[in-house]
């Protein structure tokens, strides 16, 4: 059982905004947390954010490495034998972001077709969608569009943040990898997703990726909370937006081309 009162592990404390992986496909490229968010945290005006659990769903083809990715981060383990996820599984991770407790519920879903209808009933209410493909398998990249479309059917596209994650980076040569990355960046841009490449075998980028997920989910939760509380105060909706390169947090998401 997770003890919600115990202090957060020291290696789950986020004091600065972790950087993106590729500037060409990032949710935003600001070097620090949104100033409105930073001051709200400093003044302890984050409302219910510190008590909430954010749901993150992880989807993608069978055997691309979704379970291994979550296990590398949450348990620091790696299993080379494939055991299909049946339906869904989840892990909890507690963070502290800018001094505020913040929990992620990571939902590991099944990629196998026959378990898909069970898994999809758990898609609803996600704050972030992580779509995984294998960097050595171009078909799995092509299928990410369908995974996104299915996940968005159960969620409000304007309220969810997206990550496209290439897995098993250890199995590709630098030349193969960079060839594939060109395509992956295009797909990520089209989806308005942030792109990452990881290896659960070596651990490369795994922690950095989840820290980025936690930080960006937190940032958008605080912005949403501030918007709600100011709407309550003045009886109208106030949009908190930034004029910087902030494609995803302020602009309402258009339905991506790939899921029409
Ligand atoms: N070399 C290497 N193998 C990996 C990596 N990640 C996963 N694998 C292997 O790929 C296989 C599938 O991994 P899983 O994590 O079970 O895949 P999954 O996406 O959860 O599959 P489903 O649950 O069926 O949807 C296993 O044999 C893993 O050991 C990685 O980063 N590098
Ligand atoms: Mg699995």
Query: What confidence tens digit (pLDDT) does each residue in 162-185 have?
Result: 999 999 999 999 999 999 999 999
Average pLDDT over residues 49-71: 95
Q: How confident is the model at residue 210 (pLDDT cuts 50, 70, 90)?
A: very high
Nearest alpha carbon to residue 197 among 210, 188, 186, 206: 206
Average pLDDT over residues 204-225: 96
Q: Examine the pLDDT at 6 and tell me if it is beyond 80.
A: no
What spacing in Å lies between the alpha carbon of 64 and ligand 2's midpoint? 8
Q: Is 63 in the pocket of ligand 1 (CB under 6 A)?
A: yes
Residues 6+ apart with CB under 8 A from 249: 27, 28, 34, 161, 219, 220, 223, 241, 242
Q: Examine the pLDDT at 253 and tell me if it is beyond 60.
A: no
What spacing in Å lies between the alpha carbon of 112 and ligand 1's midpoint? 13
Q: Examine the pLDDT at 4 and tell me if it is beyond 70.
A: no
Provide the pLDDT for residue 101: 93
Q: Examine the pLDDT at 236 and tell me if it is beyond 70.
A: no
C-alpha R_g of the chain: 18
Question: Whole-model pTM?
Answer: 0.90
Note the pLDDT tens digit of each residue in 86-104.
Answer: 999 999 999 999 999 999 9
Burial class (CB in 10 A: 0-12, 13-18, 19+), 169: buried
Q: Is 201 in the pocket of ligand 1 (CB under 6 A)?
A: yes
Instruction: Pick the residue whose CA is nearest to atom 13 on ligand 1.
Output: 65
Q: Cα angle at 176 between 188 and 78, to 5 degrees?
A: 80
Q: Is 166 in the pocket of ligand 1 (CB under 6 A)?
A: no
Instruction: Pick the residue whose CA is nearest to atom 28 on ligand 1.
Output: 80
Provide the pLDDT for residue 47: 85
Provide the pLDDT for residue 250: 46
Instruction: Pick the residue whose CA is nearest to atom 7 on ligand 1.
Output: 65
Q: How far apart, in whole angstroms, are the C-alpha atoms of residue 205 and residue 219?
A: 21
What is the CB neighbour count within 10 angstroms for residue 81?
4
Q: Are 213 and 163 in contact (CB under 8 A)?
A: yes
Q: Examine the pLDDT at 251 and tell me if it is beyond 50.
A: no
């Amino acid at each position: 059982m997770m003890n919600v009162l115990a202090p957060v592990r020291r290696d789950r404390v986020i004091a600065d905004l972790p950087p993106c992986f590729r500037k060409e496909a990032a949710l935003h490229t600001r070097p620090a947390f949104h100033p409105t968010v930073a001051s709200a945290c400093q003044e302890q005006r984050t409302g219910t954010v510190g008590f909430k659990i954010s749901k993150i769903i992880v989807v993608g083809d069978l055997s691309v490495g979704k379970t291994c990715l979550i296990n590398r981060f949450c348990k620091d383990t790696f299993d080379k034998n494939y055991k299909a996820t049946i339906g869904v599984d989840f892990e909890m991770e507690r963070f502290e972001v800018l001094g505020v407790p913040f929990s992620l519920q990571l939902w590991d879903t099944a990629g196998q077709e026959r378990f898909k209808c069970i898994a999809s009933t758990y898609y609803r209410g996600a704050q972030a969608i992580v779509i995984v493909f294998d960097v050595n398998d171009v078909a799995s990249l092509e299928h990410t569009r369908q995974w996104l479309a299915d996940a968005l059917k159960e969620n409000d596209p304007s309220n969810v943040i997206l990550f496209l994650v290439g897995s098993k980076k250890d199995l590709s040569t630098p030349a193969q990898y960079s060839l594939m990355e060109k395509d992956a960046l295009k797909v990520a841009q089209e989806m308005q997703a942030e792109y990452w490449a990881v290896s659960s075998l070596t651990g490369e980028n795994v922690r950095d990726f989840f820290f980025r997920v936690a930080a960006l989910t937190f940032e958008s939760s605080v912005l949403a909370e501030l918007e709600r509380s100011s709407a309550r105060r003045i009886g109208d909706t106030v949009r908190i937006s930034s004029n910087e390169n902030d494609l995803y947090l302020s602009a309402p998401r258009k339905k991506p081309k790939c899921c029409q």
